[in-house]
Structure formats: structure tokens, C-alpha cells
Amino acid sequence: MHDLNGKRVAILATHGFEQSELEVPLQKLREAGATVEVVSPESGEIKGWDKKDWGRAVPVDRALDGASEADYDALVLPGGQMNPDTLRANETAVNFVKSFWNAKKPIGAICHGPWLLVEAGIAEGRRMTSYGSIKTDVINAGGLWEDSEVVTDQGLVTSRKPDDLPAFCAKVAEEIAEGKHERRAG
């Protein structure tokens, strides 16, 4: 994994995030030297969803209302069904995601996390993947969906499911190490 010392990463999540899709990138990016903060509209802690039932709570490091893209080098969007569905209805969360894209900073989204990319208008014209059940949503938003463990397009890293986490974490770390990305119009 790339050396991420001095890099700062936000993980945007709320209750119902897929347990491994938040915890594994959090651990792997920290092990690579990055400062990683869980950003949430909730305060205190948020509770994960671990396969078929509620999982462990994770502390929230920063309130979404007090977070700014300028404080971070990259953004990670874990999946789970409830988490991104709740966040995509939150205007502040959607604007937070858009701000990373507009600043040409890497964004990683796994599983249902690409719902936030769709809501933020980022999916159009981008090669990406997602959990199979939201494939049609991605395609309807203009995304170029493919069934691969990790897909990267101009600093946008997407993966399908928890089994893809090793490839997802490695590619997100690589994109963070490279920094800002040139973006062409859709």
C-alpha cells in the first residue's frame, strides 16, 4: 500500500453503513499513514450493519455541518443499503460529495455508496461499478457500469461488495497518493 503520511481522508457515513466497508478502509488507510476521520450528520457514534443485523458502533470524528472538503485530500463512501440511501436525501451530504469532485480530489465508493455519486451528478459519463441491485440506477444516471471488482475513472474509485475491499482499498490508496486528477467533461 502507498505511503499516505500527511494525507487526510474523510469517510462519510451514517447509521446502517456496511460494517466492513467502513472499518476496513478506515484501518487500511490509517495503516498507510493517513489521518482518517468519520464524518456524519449524526454526533457521538453511528451504528453499522453487519451482513444481516445491526453491528458495532463507530465514533464520529467530525460533524458533517463542520466539515469541509478543504480539510481533506480524499473521500470514501461506504455502502450498506440504509447509509447511502439516508445520505442521498441530505443536501449537505450531497454537496459535501460534490465539493470533492469539483476540487478534483479522489472519491472511493463501494456497494450502495455510488447512490451518492448518482445524487451528486457525478455518475454521468463515468466508468464505474456498484452493488448489482443499483446497476440500473447508475446506468439511468448516465454511468458506464461494468461488473469488475474495482473500476477507476479520473480519481473516482468504485467497487461492488465487501469481497472487493482488498482491491478497493489498494486503489483508493493509490489515487490518494497521486493527488488531484484532471477531469474531462462527461
Does residue 186 carry a pLDDT above 80?
no
Backbone angles phi, psi at 80, to 5 degrees: 90, 155
Residue 70 corresponds to which cell in the numbers above? 478543504
Answer yes or no: is pLDDT of 185 > 70: no
Query: Is the pLDDT reported for residue 1 higher than 80?
Result: no
Quick: pLDDT tens for 30-69: 999 999 999 999 999 999 999 899 999 999 999 999 999 9
Distance CA 165, CA 29 (A): 12
Mean pLDDT of 5-22: 98
Burial class (CB in 10 A: 0-12, 13-18, 19+), 171: buried
Segment 6-10 shows an average pLDDT of 97
Active site positions, annotated: 111-112
Strand partners for 37: 10
> What pLDDT is stored for residue 125 in this prediction?
97
Q: Is the pLDDT of residue 10 over 80?
A: yes
For the chain, what are the domain ranges?
8-178
- Tell me: pLDDT of 184 over 70: no
Asked if residue 19 has pLDDT above 90, the reply is yes
Provide the pLDDT for residue 141. 98
Residues 25, 79 contacting (CB under 8 angstroms)? no
Distance CA 25, CA 7 (A): 14
What DSSP character marks residue 182? -
Residues 73-109: tens digit of each pLDDT:
999 999 999 999 999 999 999 999 999 999 999 999 9
d(CA 41, CA 76): 15
pLDDT at 89: 98
At the fourth CATH level, which superfamily is domain 8-178?
Class I glutamine amidotransferase (GATase) domain (3.40.50.880)
Q: Closest Cα to residue 79, out of 129, 145, 29?
A: 129
Taking CA 154 as the corner, what is the angle to CA 78 and CA 165, rounded to the nearest 5 degrees?
30
Q: Model confidence over 121-175: pLDDT tens digits?
A: 999 999 999 999 999 999 999 999 999 999 999 999 999 999 999 999 999 999 9
User: What's the mean per-residue pLDDT of the chain?
Assistant: 96
Per-residue model confidence (pLDDT) at position 183? 59
Strands 74-77 and 107-110: parallel
